[in-house]
Structure 1
């Protein structure tokens, strides 16, 4: 029964390229016309057809981690490229739509993130061995989308360009008080303190990140200008000239969007500026992959633009700019994956083969979601005051604007 159901699902989905599936009973079947990329997968467990029909993302991800799903040549990238390309084009067949509907109905429960649960969710991912992150991130440990202003940039250059671009949007002047919500390992806060003279307070719920950020500030002689606290943004007091949050809003959860932007409004001075940088979806609201929720980012969700802007509007914040970065994160993830795979023996020494497969699958699936399934990055700039920022974007790169005007003349 379940083999037949899976056969029907794959027949519906694969209209481009070709997928060869070897079932647990040894039969091999091909799906798709063969007019494009090809991939092959072997299912080694008799329960997999049922699991895949019920939850393909969970079953394939867990199966690969456990070794009960294997790909010819270990070509995870080729298989997921073919699968995402076809799923995005075809959508789900009728018999899976109720299951997808249930995912959307339960997403608010999955994203219910009060302070105690948020702390646990953060620890799940960010309190892993610090050495793991050294093996694939840049030297500043920027664990968010880089900005490839030139296609030939190194990861280090693109991450520095990201920080500089955000700093320009914040219009920081020396002495300004800046709150960094979800400060990570301190890279953004230290940059704003060192290069722009800001007085930075960074907050995180990760013990590992907090300890490293404090140590980095002390080593750089910036402890008086960049202070890092182990606390939730909802517990921050006072007011700030600027608020920045990079790669943290994905962990807030839809049920807490009003609470989040109420906090931004409460903490921002009447003429202040906030910049929220987050992964998002170019389509309508959806649900997080159950595999990602269970193994990578519990409580996480990448919002549709409509979900974020609706919450911003409720709290008397003027959206002064929205910028959409499209393939920058795909390029960032490609470089993380390349470095991770180059250091996989060192990762295996820290953890085990199952962890290596899990993390590799995560990096590949994430990259391809940006490349093939309309996932993007949003930068929302906002202020309580309508004219807090200049009326055009020329202030970001004034030299470039002059060059463009001269070229037009």
Structure 2
């Protein structure tokens, strides 16, 4: 397979320089016609070479996890920057074939039934809770923070994110009933209850998250104001004043987009307000990387605004506000990476080297997707009624500014 891989790499590298040490010890240097970074890649086995030819999108991550390929003379981030820059440049025929196959398989990959959704969530979110304590902020906010100022700490930016979302929910009186779809470990729900007087129901499919969220309710003394349930959004049979969903839409799957927004509409009272915060892509509908789909987020897909808004339109909801957060998630993941690296040995002791390689590849790849490949976050505010909100956004700024002064 080495001659085929050599041919592919000659076509593939158009930006920067990639120096490859093959399993037989020979070194080939591939120079692009456009300036860029220089990186080294060591392919330690013939199996690694064969896998990269057959399915590069899956094989790179698998062979790195197994220790069969590694960066050489550079960091993993530098290697991935070179590879991702060349993917953005147009890739090669094998990459295009793989991408087309993934695209046509999207309807099958996105068929997230109730049972499959529970299994997908458990794959990532039911990991040992100590892992998340080692790289997230103290509130365990596992979604894009909001860096209102460049010098914010991670904790400050996650607090600002919750304020930003609360301002769009217009929690202008105590006692409003809020549904938190995909509530994580409960941080947002607890904040909305404590700081804004809301009565919150949080739902999750993760047993680990549910247990921790319920523990925190007791710790905060909010038993009569906040409750958490192990429940799918498709099974909610109650209407709320407000609905919020942060970092959950990415797990819905393309086939369920319309069902998701119809569900939000059904859960909203006639004058209700919803806020959906999600990862998105700027370059139109696409596919999920095969390795990410298999090892990190089974059933996951980052939607384009075009397909998201099409589903909203068919639901009959009003889009009353839409904001694009560009590099906020890149900055967030950079902070997670610093903490992950600082606690690397503790995570090895918790799992093993293979798990750490898998997770660091996921974090680096995710950060670079936001820096290099057009990924972003969007926040869409939705209502059932055309007059559920003031005609200007002033109330958002006033509420957020007031909350930041407390």
TM over 0.5: yes
Indicate conservation of the 8 Å contact 2:40/2:74, yes or no. Answer: no
Moved more, 104-113 or 291-300: 104-113
CA distance change for structure 1 residues 266 and 330 in 2, over 3 Å: closer, same or farther?
same
Q: 1:97: which partner in 2?
A: 96
TM-score relative to the length of structure 2: 0.96
CA distance change for structure 1 residues 102 and 302 in 2, over 3 Å: closer, same or farther?
same
- SS of residue matched to 1:354: helix
CA distance change for structure 1 residues 7 and 391 in 2, over 3 Å: closer, same or farther?
farther
Does 1:69 find its partner at 2:65? no
Indicate conservation of the 8 Å contact 1:210/1:229, yes or no. Answer: yes
Name the CA distance, whole Å, in 2 between partners of 1:210 and 1:31. 50
Name the CA distance, whole Å, in 2 between partners of 1:200 and 1:319. 23
Name the CA distance, whole Å, in 2 between partners of 1:247 and 1:280. 10
CA distance change for structure 1 residues 388 and 155 in 2, over 3 Å: closer, same or farther?
same
Moved more, 45-54 or 157-166: 45-54
Instruction: Tell me how far 1:43 sits from its aligned partner.
Output: 0.4
TM-score relative to the length of structure 1: 0.95
Indicate conservation of the 8 Å contact 2:8/2:92, yes or no. Answer: yes
Q: 2:339: which partner in 1?
A: 339
Instruction: Tell me how far 1:100 sits from its aligned partner.
Output: 1.9
Structure 2: state its 5+ residue gaps: 402-406
Q: 2:134: which partner in 1?
A: 135
Indicate conservation of the 8 Å contact 2:288/2:300, yes or no. Answer: yes
Indicate conservation of the 8 Å contact 1:54/1:99, yes or no. Answer: no
Name the CA distance, whole Å, in 1 between partners of 2:151 and 2:98. 43
Structure 1: state its 5+ residue gaps: 402-409
Q: 2:392: which partner in 1?
A: 392
Instruction: Tell me how far 1:14 sits from its aligned partner.
Output: 1.7
Q: 2:248: which partner in 1?
A: 248
Instruction: Tell me how far 1:319 sits from its aligned partner.
Output: 0.5
Name the CA distance, whole Å, in 2 between partners of 1:45 and 1:393. 58
Q: 1:124: which partner in 2?
A: 123
Q: 1:40: which partner in 2?
A: 40
- SS of residue matched to 1:396: helix
CA distance change for structure 1 residues 246 and 61 in 2, over 3 Å: closer, same or farther?
same
Indicate conservation of the 8 Å contact 1:239/1:268, yes or no. Answer: yes
Name the CA distance, whole Å, in 2 between partners of 1:182 and 1:215. 17
Name the CA distance, whole Å, in 1 between partners of 2:389 and 2:138. 32
Indicate conservation of the 8 Å contact 1:54/1:96, yes or no. Answer: no
Indicate conservation of the 8 Å contact 2:318/2:385, yes or no. Answer: yes
Aligned length: 399
Q: 2:169: which partner in 1?
A: 170
Name the CA distance, whole Å, in 2 between partners of 1:233 and 1:95. 39
- SS of residue matched to 1:380: strand
Instruction: Tell me how far 1:95 sits from its aligned partner.
Output: 4.8
Name the CA distance, whole Å, in 1 between partners of 2:260 and 2:75. 40
Name the CA distance, whole Å, in 2 between partners of 1:29 and 1:94. 20
Moved more, 152-161 or 44-53: 44-53
Name the CA distance, whole Å, in 2 between partners of 1:400 and 1:349. 42
Q: 2:404: which partner in 1?
A: none
Name the CA distance, whole Å, in 1 between partners of 2:95 and 2:231. 41
